[in-house]
Structure 1
Amino acid sequence: MSGETFVGIDVSKARLDVAILPSGEIFAVDNTASGLAELLIRLSEAQPHLVVLESTGGLEQAAVLALYEAGWPATVLNPRRVRHFSRALGQHAKTDRIDAMVLARFAQTMQPEAQVPSNAFQWSLEAILTRRRQVVELLNMERNRLNSSQDAYVQQDLREVIHYLEGRREQLDQALRDAIQRNPKFQATYDVLTSTPGVGPVMAWTLLAQLPELGQLSRQKIANLVGVAPLNRDSGTVRGHRSIWGGRASVRQVLYMSAVSGVRWNPTLKAVYQHLIGNGKPTKVALVACMRKLLVYLNAMVRDQAPWQVQSVA
């Protein structure tokens, strides 16, 4: 353990600040192709046990992909986790170099699991899916404005914008379908996922793009990763309400919609939901349980590359 090397990388648009422990070395490279090549050369000398970066809205993607392709284990952290860790250390000053060292200390102390490597195809799929989500959000905003507008000219303008955005959404849907069809491995997994009642194209696209760990982790780990595993809130003799928290919010949001559909059309999830409601569980608790059940089923199906079969509720 003492001989292992941990690396923290603070990402900005122009630069990558890198800290290495236990040596304490700190350096910076440009966030460009040539800078990434220099980073990989420096890391080949350090032989890192784990590289940790912070999610920065996509600026980290090129670095993460380069690390994966070079074979270095890496993970991208939620900024909230890093912020809490920094406060626990009593580190209140903030610079890029300090942030890189905090990330390296997080890696050394907490040793989070390395993420399953993504590839260039997966990054592209996620980018298209993200753009689709943005277009859908714009559509909802314009529809709400149409519902509240009283002016005929504004209403017509809104209808034209809505028509345009609906066309853009259809084109993005087709781009996602075409991308999946060009990749036999992803197409096979897509077919497995969509064989499940309640799992439509958007759910399958989201899992393929944003949950590459699906089928490779245990049921508990995949539930924790997405954020649908209930967390205890106990202290002494007090037993608090179990709740879900953290995880990949974008995956969890789509999983929720699939669970809502599933409790109507999927016989297994419908039986689970009715059983929980019959035992007095609140609707929200029952739906979260169905989300977790559905995710666990899909995890096993992708692992075995086996289509949906009616599952035992027990």
Structure 2
Amino acid sequence: MKKLFIGIDFSKEKLDATIILACGMNEIGSREYGCFPNNTTGYRKLCNWVKTNAWNTIAEEWLFCGEDTGSCSIGLSKWLYGKGYDIWIENAYAIKHSSGIQRVKNDKADSAIIAEYAWRQQDKVVPFEPLNESLAQLREIFLYRHKLVGQRVAMELRKEDKSQSNKSKAISFINRKSKHLIAEINKTIAECDKAIDSIIEADEELKENYAIITSIKGVARQNATCMLVYTNNFKKFGYDPRKIACYYGVAPFGKQSGTSVNTPAHTSHFANKLIKSLLGQAAHIAKIYNPEIRDYYQRLISKGKKPQVALNNVKNKLIRIIVALVRKKVPYDQNTYKYYEEREVIERKKNEKLIYC
């Protein structure tokens, strides 16, 4: 049972921290507040400050908590993890919508809200664990490549727009430089692809799962890399396809309340839009070139499903197939596809029986 809760509000330059001492659901003593620089020196000062205000508690009874703010929070998270402290990095939206009505908005108040959240929701703690070195490198290169692709698209669109306008020396200059920049971006993207391949090749576990994922026609390098990175090589969601589908934003949810609210199930906008768009591209390719997926898509259309609904079902189907194959450590082929599809039908019928019992 944790007794000391340290809420940390991360920013680029500093860390605002609030300490709450509690016994069960009862707060004990006064709250303490401190502000520290967001660097290694600040991390040490933060820990020394917590020790000074620990009220005779031991380190095993402490819980650090903060919002997931990317580069601002990763430094302290890794440092505390390396020192053996428990730290919980939670979604900022979850903290905000569990804090009740708030009239004050500043860094000190935010750190207190985070400490209260850790105290009240301690039964839901998910301890922070950093990605291993291979996945961390893979993530950085994958995101860098994605940025380069966006810059290339912007450059190509600008070049095309300028080419359609009146010819002039300025337009010729822009077109010439744009061609040069696009060529350089293409070269860098190719280097990123080689780096991604070399990282995967050097890690046996990543290499095995990558080969399984890409054995499915329609799922190639970018989708496979994306899934490995964002699922922590499938360990983050415990090989649960429904949880992965929720994170991707392709799991449908309905709304029902009383007699007036009865919304049909549809996908939520709470999703990682980057990986959702990549999965959409894979689904488009799979429904054309993958015979089994194509048949599945056509069956849905013949039953009256709208094309976008059927395509979303294809996305879910791809996730379920990938997770099943990775869990069983077997590559994709027609026989394994039919086997897992039959298993899925059997499981669904079992669940339906349980519901109606």
TM range (shorter): 0.7 to 0.9
Contact 2:5–2:118 (8 Å) recurs in 1 = yes
What's the counterpart of residue 207 of structure 1? 227
Contact 1:213–1:222 (8 Å) recurs in 2 = no
Aligned residues: 311
What's the counterpart of residue 294 of structure 2? 270
Normalized per residue, the structure richer in strand is: 2
Kindly state the Cα deviation for residue 148 of structure 1 after the two structures are TM-superposed.
Answer: 1.3
Name which of structure 1's ranges 51-60 and 169-178 shifts more when overlaid on structure 2: 51-60
What's the counterpart of residue 105 of structure 1? 116
Contact 1:8–1:18 (8 Å) recurs in 2 = yes
**Is 1:223 matched up with 2:222?**
no
Q: Tell me the SS of whatever aligns to 2:72.
A: coil
Q: Tell me the SS of whatever aligns to 1:18.
A: strand
Contact 1:225–1:247 (8 Å) recurs in 2 = yes
**Is 1:240 matched up with 2:251?**
no
Deviation sequence 1:72-100 (CA, Å, 0-9, x none): 555544433333334xx111322222212
What's the counterpart of residue 129 of structure 1? 142
Kindly state the Cα deviation for residue 142 of structure 1 after the two structures are TM-superposed.
Answer: 0.9
What's the counterpart of residue 17 of structure 1? 16
Q: TM-score, normalised by structure 1?
A: 0.85
Question: Tell me, which stretches of 5 or more residues in structure 2 are unaligned?
Answer: 23-30, 52-56, 164-170, 346-357
> Relative to structure 1, is the Cα distance of residues 18 and 141 closer, same or farther in structure 2, using a 3 angstrom cutoff?
same
Deviation sequence 1:201-239 (CA, Å, 0-9, x none): 111111222221625242322222333221112222342
Q: Tell me the SS of whatever aligns to 1:60.
A: helix
Q: Which amino acid aligns with 1:137?
A: G
Name which of structure 1's ranges 274-283 and 107-116 shifts more when overlaid on structure 2: 107-116
Whole-Å separation in 2 of the counterparts to 1:124 and 1:289? 32
Kindly state the Cα deviation for residue 298 of structure 1 after the two structures are TM-superposed.
Answer: 1.7
> Relative to structure 1, is the Cα distance of residues 96 and 253 closer, same or farther in structure 2, using a 3 angstrom cutoff?
same
Contact 1:219–1:296 (8 Å) recurs in 2 = yes
> Relative to structure 1, is the Cα distance of residues 204 and 65 closer, same or farther in structure 2, using a 3 angstrom cutoff?
farther
Kindly state the Cα deviation for residue 117 of structure 1 after the two structures are TM-superposed.
Answer: 4.3
Whole-Å separation in 1 of the counterparts to 2:85 and 2:16? 17
Kindly state the Cα deviation for residue 50 of structure 1 after the two structures are TM-superposed.
Answer: 5.7
Whole-Å separation in 1 of the counterparts to 2:32 and 2:292? 55
> Relative to structure 1, is the Cα distance of residues 207 and 72 closer, same or farther in structure 2, using a 3 angstrom cutoff?
farther
> Relative to structure 1, is the Cα distance of residues 181 and 72 closer, same or farther in structure 2, using a 3 angstrom cutoff?
farther
Kindly state the Cα deviation for residue 283 of structure 1 after the two structures are TM-superposed.
Answer: 1.5
Q: Relative contact order, CA 8 A, sep 6+: which one is greater? A: 1
1:111-190 equivalences under 5 Å are 111=124, 113-114=126-127, 117-150=130-163, 151-190=171-210
Instruction: Indicate which of 21, 45, 58 corresponds to 2:71.
Output: 58
Kindly state the Cα deviation for residue 6 of structure 1 after the two structures are TM-superposed.
Answer: 4.5
Kindly state the Cα deviation for residue 167 of structure 1 after the two structures are TM-superposed.
Answer: 0.9
What's the counterpart of residue 191 of structure 1? 211
Q: Which amino acid aligns with 2:203?
A: N
Q: TM-score, normalised by structure 2?
A: 0.76
Q: Tell me the SS of whatever aligns to 1:85.
A: coil
**Is 1:295 matched up with 2:319?**
yes
Kindly state the Cα deviation for residue 197 of structure 1 after the two structures are TM-superposed.
Answer: 1.4
Whole-Å separation in 2 of the counterparts to 1:49 and 1:293? 42
Q: Which amino acid aligns with 1:61?
A: I
Whole-Å separation in 2 of the counterparts to 1:55 and 1:178? 29
Bigger radius of gyration: 2
Q: Tell me the SS of whatever aligns to 1:240.
A: strand
> Relative to structure 1, is the Cα distance of residues 183 and 257 closer, same or farther in structure 2, using a 3 angstrom cutoff?
same
Whole-Å separation in 1 of the counterparts to 2:264 and 2:305? 12
Contact 1:75–1:113 (8 Å) recurs in 2 = yes
> Relative to structure 1, is the Cα distance of residues 303 and 63 closer, same or farther in structure 2, using a 3 angstrom cutoff?
farther
What's the counterpart of residue 286 of structure 1? 310
Deviation sequence 1:119-173 (CA, Å, 0-9, x none): 3432222111111111000000011112211333322222111111111111111
